[in-house]
Structure 1
Amino acid sequence: MTSPSKPTAAGRVLAILDTFTDRHDSLTLSSIARRAGLTLPTAHRLVGELTDWGALHRQSDGEYTIGLKVLELGSLAGHRLRLKQLAHPYLHGLHHATNTNIHLSVSIQQDVLYLESMLTPGGAPVTSRFGGRWPMHATATGRVLLAAATPAELEASLRQPLMAYSPHTVTDPDELRHLLAEIRQRGVAVAYDQIATGVIALAAPITGPHGRAVAAVGITAPKDRFTARQLIPPLLTTARRISAALNGPDPDLAERELRSA
C-alpha cells in the first residue's frame, strides 16, 4: 500500500494542475513547486512533461498557464453543458430583468464552481467565469450550499483555513454557523462586501427531487444601486423555476448530473 506521505506520480501531476485558479492562472515554476508541495527538480520534470503533452503552456515570460489539451478535455464534460443548457433561459431572464451579474454554482471540495456566469458591463467587480472557483464561505452561492450540507460536511469545511478577501469577509466559524442557520430559515443568502467592497451578493438554492439543495443561483451587484428587497423576489422565482425543470421527466438523472458536475 502506498504511504499517504508519498504521493503517487498521478497525485503529483494532479497537484500541479490544481495550483492554477482564477486568481493564479499564470505561475512561475517556483510558485508551482511551492503550491503543489514539490521539490523544484520534481516540479521541473513534471511541468516539462505536462508542457510537452499540452496540459500546460509556457509563455514568453517563462510563466505557465493551463494548456489547450486540458481545455479540450474539459469540453467533453457533457453533463455540465446539459445543466447549463437547462438553466440558461431562466438565468438569462433573471439577467435581463435585473441587469446584474448572474451565476449558477455547484460545490466542489471547499469551493463553489461556476457552471454559468452572465456578467453586466459596469456591474459588480467580482471576477467569475465558467469553470472558475471561489471559496464557499466567502460567497452567497457557497453559503447556500454550505447551509444544505450535512453536519459532517459543514464541520469539515469550517475546519479549513478561512481566508479573507476583503476587510469584511467572515472568517469566524461560529459567525458562519449563525449565518448559515439564518439561510436555512430564510431560504436565501444575502452577503455584503465579502469578496470585494461595495458589492451585495445574493443566492438561492436549486433543489433536487428530495428537496436538498444541489446547486445555487446567485446575483452580485453594486450595493449602492441595488437592495436585497429588489433582488430577492426575482432570484427566488428563478431558483424555483430551475428546480422545477430539474425535477421534470427524469429528476434522478438531473440530480446525479448536478452532483457530479
Structure 2
Amino acid sequence: MTGTGSAERILAILDVFTEDHLEWTTEELMARLGYSRPTLYRYLKALREAGFLTSLPGAGFTLGPRVVELDYLLRKSDPLVSTGQKHLEALIDAYPCSALLVRWYGAKLLCVASESSTPNPLSSYARGRAMPLARGAISRAIMAWLPRRQLEPLILANLDEMKQMGLGSTLDEVLEAMRLVRRAGAAVAHGEVTPGVIGTAAPVFDAGQSPIAAVTVTIAGREVTPETLNSIERDVKTRAAAITKALAERRVEARESAGDFAPIEFELERKSS
C-alpha cells in the first residue's frame, strides 16, 4: 500500500462500486481494472482488513462498515453541514418542502444534508446519492458560476441531455442560459429531476468565490403560486449567502487561532483561489 501508484490503484477499487453495481466478484474486478490476481488479492485483503470492503463465502465484495463510520464522522465534522443545518430548518419551517445542501466535488453533485416538512419527501436524491449534471436547479446553480474553462467541457459532455431540458442546442446557447442563471442569482427548474416538483437552488462559495455547494428547496408544484416561488427564490439566495459568510468567518477564526501553524488546507486554498 506504499507509493502513490498503489494508493491510486486501491482507490480505483472503491470507485467501481455504484448504485447499479453494488457487488463485485474477483473475476469481475480483474476484468474491469486489469490487475493481476496476486495484486488484486493483496489490495482486497488490505481493504477488507481496514473495513472498507466486506464479503461472504461464495459471494462477491461489497462496501464495508468503515464507510458508514466515516459517514458518521463526516456529518459531525463537515463545516458546511454544521453551518447550514439551521438554514435548512428555517426553510422547511417556512414552506411545505424539502431543503437540501448539495456539495460539488470533482464533477459530481452529492446531497450531504437534508430536512423535510412533508410526510412523503418528494426529492429523488437522498443524502449520498449522486445527482445528474444536465438536469435540475442544483446543477445550474453550481455550473453557472464555474469558470468557463471548467464549464465548457461539462456542457459538451452533457449537451444532448441539456438540449432535452431546453437549455440550448449549442455550447453558446447553453452558456447564455448559464449567464441568465448567474444574473438571477439562483436557478429554478420545473419537474426536470422529479415529476411535479419545482426545485430552486442558489450557490454557496468558498474563499476564492468558487461554488462549492448549493442550497436547494424542492416543493410540489401544486403548493406553489408565482408569489410563493418568488419568496422561495429570495429565501434560498439569502440562506446560501449566509452560509457563505459563515464559512468565511469560520476560516478567518481558524487562521487566527492557528497562527504560524496554519493547517495545510489554508495553503492549498490560497493557491487554488
C-alpha distance in 1 between matches for 2:107 and 2:179: 19
C-alpha distance in 2 between matches for 1:177 and 1:14: 34
C-alpha distance in 2 between matches for 1:43 and 1:123: 45
Secondary structure class of the residue paired with 1:205: strand
CA distance 1:189–1:36, shift in 2 (3 Å)? farther
Report how far residue 17 of structure 1 moved. Answer: 0.8
Q: Which residue of structure 2 aligns with residue 4 of structure 1?
A: none
C-alpha distance in 2 between matches for 1:105 and 1:209: 18
Rg comparison, structure with higher value: 2
Task: Select between 34-43 and 188-197 the one with higher mean Cα deviation.
Answer: 34-43
Which of these residues, 175, 178, 197, is aligned with residue 177 of structure 1? 175
Matches for 1:148-163 after TM superposition, within 5 Å: 148-160=145-157
Q: Which residue of structure 2 aligns with residue 242 of structure 1?
A: 243
Task: Select between 168-177 and 64-73 the one with higher mean Cα deviation.
Answer: 168-177
C-alpha distance in 2 between matches for 1:160 and 1:32: 27
C-alpha distance in 2 between matches for 1:41 and 1:106: 37
Residues 128-158 of structure 1, C-alpha deviations (whole Å, 9 max, x = no match): 20x4322333342232221111111112323
Does the 8 A contact of 1:138 with 1:169 survive in 2? no
Q: Please, what is the CA RMSD of the aligned residues?
A: 3.8
Return structure 1 stretches of 4+ with deviation > 6 angstroms.
Answer: none
Matches for 1:83-162 after TM superposition, within 5 Å: 83-119=80-116, 120-129=118-127, 131-160=128-157
C-alpha distance in 2 between matches for 1:125 and 1:88: 18
TM-score (norm 1): 0.75
Report how far residue 187 of structure 1 moved. Answer: 0.5
Secondary structure class of the residue paired with 1:91: helix
CA distance 1:195–1:43, shift in 2 (3 Å)? farther
C-alpha distance in 2 between matches for 1:163 and 1:39: 34
Report how far residue 48 of structure 1 moved. Answer: 5.3
CA distance 1:10–1:187, shift in 2 (3 Å)? same
Higher relative contact order (CA 8 A, sep 6+): 1
Does the 8 A contact of 2:125 with 2:131 survive in 1? no
Does the 8 A contact of 1:137 with 1:176 survive in 2? no
Which of these residues, 209, 214, 217, is aligned with residue 215 of structure 2? 217
Residues 137-193 of structure 1, C-alpha deviations (whole Å, 9 max, x = no match): 33422322211111111123234356859x759695635323211111111111223
Task: Select between 147-156 and 233-242 the one with higher mean Cα deviation.
Answer: 233-242
Does 2:29 match 1:33? yes
Task: Output the amino acid matched with 1:203.
Answer: A
Q: How many pairs does the alignment contain?
A: 249
Secondary structure class of the residue paired with 1:54: coil
Secondary structure class of the residue paired with 1:127: coil
C-alpha distance in 2 between matches for 1:196 and 1:44: 40
Report how far residue 240 of structure 1 moved. Answer: 2.7
**Identity, % of aligned pairs?**
24
